[in-house]
Amino acid sequence: MPEVLTQTTLDEIVADAAKKRYIHGFVMHVRRGDRGLTSAAGNLDVASRFFAASVTKSFVTAVLLKLEAAGKLALHDKIAQHLPEEIVEGLHVKEGVDSSHSIEIWHLMSNTSGIPDYFDGETANSLIANNDEPWGLEPAVSSAKQKQPKFLPGQKAEYSDTNYQLLGALIEMVTEEPLYAVFDEMIVEPLGLEDTYLYRGEPDDRLVPMYYKERALELPRYMASIGAEGGIVSTAQNLGLFVQAFFNGALFDAARLEDLYKWRLLFRPGVFSYGIGIAKQPVSFVRLSKGLLGHWGQSGAFAFFDPETRTCLAGTANQYIGQNAAARAMIKVLRHPLAPA
C-alpha cells in the first residue's frame, strides 16, 4: 500500500520543487473531501496571493454554465446574438470568406473558433522584458482581425487567448454587470473565497510578483487588462476549494461535466488536451487518455482534479516557465493518497 500523504511528506515535495532552477517559491494545496493540506517554500507562504493567469478560464466556464442553467444563454448560441456587430464582423475572415457569424459560444470555450491569438511570440517577448502595456478586448480583437485564421470554426483546435477576451465581453453583455462583479456574485461569495478576486490594478501587499527566470515581472497594466483571459488573483487554498466545487456540483450540475469532455490534442502552449472550457493534462506519455482535469496558468499556477482519487491540487510555481516543476510535484503528491476527513 502506498504511504498516505502527510504534512511532512507534502512539505518535502514542495521544498524540493522550490529548489528547481528558476523556481523562487512554490506553494501547493491538496484537498480530498473535507481534508486539505497546504505547504509553501522559498519566497512564498501559504497565505501568498498570486496571479492565477489562465486558471481564470475555469472561472469563465463555471459562469457560462451557471448562465446557461439560468436560461440566459446556451453554449450553442451564436456569439453574434450577444456581442455587438462591430466586434463580431471580421473576426474570422479566411481567404476572403467571413465566417464570424457562424461562431458559437462553445467554439470560443474550446479554442475551436479559428480566431487567431493576439498573444503571439512578439507579445510574449515584450511582456517578459517588462514592457507593461494593456491588452484588453479592443487591442486583442484588432490584432486578431489583422491575422489570417488557419481553419474554419469547429474544424480544428488551436489555443487562443482572444477567445476568452471575447467570452468576458459576452458575459458582461448578458449579465449587464462588470466581470469582477459577476465572478464575485457567482463564485467568490458563494464559496467563501476571501482571498480571490479579479485583478484591476489595486495595491495588494500579499500579492507576489511572478517571475520569468531570474526577473520579477511587474505588469500591473497588462494583468489588469486581461480579465476573463487570466486576471484572477487567488491563494493555493482558495483555488483548491474552487476546483473541488467545480467538479463536485457545488457551482453547476455535475452531470454537465461530461459534455465538456470533447478532447482535442494541443501542442501549444504545452502538450495537453482541451475540451469545452477545460483542459486535461496527462501525467505520463503511456497514459495519454487519462490525466488531470482543470487548467494551467502561464504564471506557473495550476488548479487540477484527479478523477481517479478525487484529489484536488492547486497552487503555483510562480514562474513563467515553471509548469514542469509543478507537474512533477503533482505527480509525486498523487503517489500518496490523501485520506478524506
Distance in angstroms (rounded) separating the CA atoms of residues 25 and 155: 40
Distance in angstroms (rounded) separating the CA atoms of residues 140 and 134: 10
- pLDDT at position 290 is 77
- pLDDT at position 2 is 77
Cα dist. 57→7, 45, 161, 257, 286 in Å? 30, 25, 10, 15, 28
- Asked if 321 and 338 touch (Cβ cutoff 8 Å), the reply is no
Distance in angstroms (rounded) separating the CA atoms of residues 61 and 167: 9
Crossing angle of helices 161-175 and 137-145, rounded to 10°: 130
Distance in angstroms (rounded) separating the CA atoms of residues 313 and 78: 35
Burial class of residue 33 in the structure, from the number of CB atoms within 10 Å of its CB (0-12 exposed, 13-18 middle, 19+ buried):
middle
- pLDDT at position 270 is 81
Q: Which three cell numbers stand for residue 66?
A: 451557471
Instruction: Select the CATH number that applies to the domain covering 7-334 from these four: 3.40.50.2000, 3.20.20.30, 2.40.170.20, 3.40.710.10.
Output: 3.40.710.10
Portion of the chain with pLDDT greater than 90, in percent: 94
Per-residue pLDDT band at 269 (split at 50, 70, 90): confident
Q: Say whether pLDDT at 93 is over 90.
A: yes
SS3 content of the chain, % helix, strand, coil (to 5): 40, 20, 45
Instruction: Give the model confidence (pLDDT) of 141-169 as tens digits.
Output: 999 999 999 999 999 999 999 999 999 99
Per-residue burial over 49-80, b if 16 or more Cβ lie within 10 Å, else e, is: bbbbbbbbbbbbbbbbbbbbeeeebebebbbb
Domain ranges of the chain: 7-334
Instruction: Give the model confidence (pLDDT) of 224-258 as tens digits.
Output: 999 999 999 999 999 999 999 999 999 999 999 99
pTM beyond 0.95: yes
Distance in angstroms (rounded) separating the CA atoms of residues 149 and 182: 31
Crossing angle of helices 236-248 and 56-69, rounded to 10°: 30
Per-residue pLDDT band at 180 (split at 50, 70, 90): very high
Q: What is the mean pLDDT of residues 102-118?
A: 98
Distance in angstroms (rounded) separating the CA atoms of residues 292 and 305: 6
